[in-house]
Amino acid sequence: MQISSTFVILWFSLINSIYCISFHLPISTKKCLKEEIHKDTIVTGDYDITSVPGFPTHLQVKDTKGHTLYNKEDAVKGNFAFTTEEYDIFDICVETKLPPGQQKHHLSGFQASKEVNIKIKHGVETKDYDALAKANKLKPLEVELNRLEDLSSAIVSDFAYMKEREEEMRNTNESTNNKVLYFSIFSMICLMSLAIWQVLYLRRYFKAKKLID
**pLDDT given at position 16:** 39
> In the predicted model, what is the mean pLDDT of residues 91-106?
72
Structural domain boundaries in the chain: 20-100+110-123
| DSSP H or E run through 59 | strand 57-62
Say if CB 79 and CB 126 are below 8 A apart. no
CA distances from residue 143 to 59, 156, 190 in whole angstroms, order as listed: 35, 20, 70
pLDDT tens digits along 70-93: 999 889 999 999 888 888 889 999
Q: What is the pTM of this model?
A: 0.60
Instruction: Please tell me the CATH code under which domain 20-100+110-123 is placed.
Output: 2.60.120.680
Per-residue pLDDT, 101 = 58
For residues 177 and 107, the model is more confident at 177
CB-based contacts of 148, cutoff 8 Å, min separation 6: 8
Which strand (E) or helix (H) includes residue 134? helix 129-136
For residue range 6-21, what is the model confidence (pLDDT) as tens digits?
444 434 444 433 468 8
Give the pLDDT confidence score for residue 154 in this predicted structure. Answer: 77
pLDDT at 95: 92
Region of poorest pLDDT, from 27-31, 73-77, 95-99, 162-166: 95-99
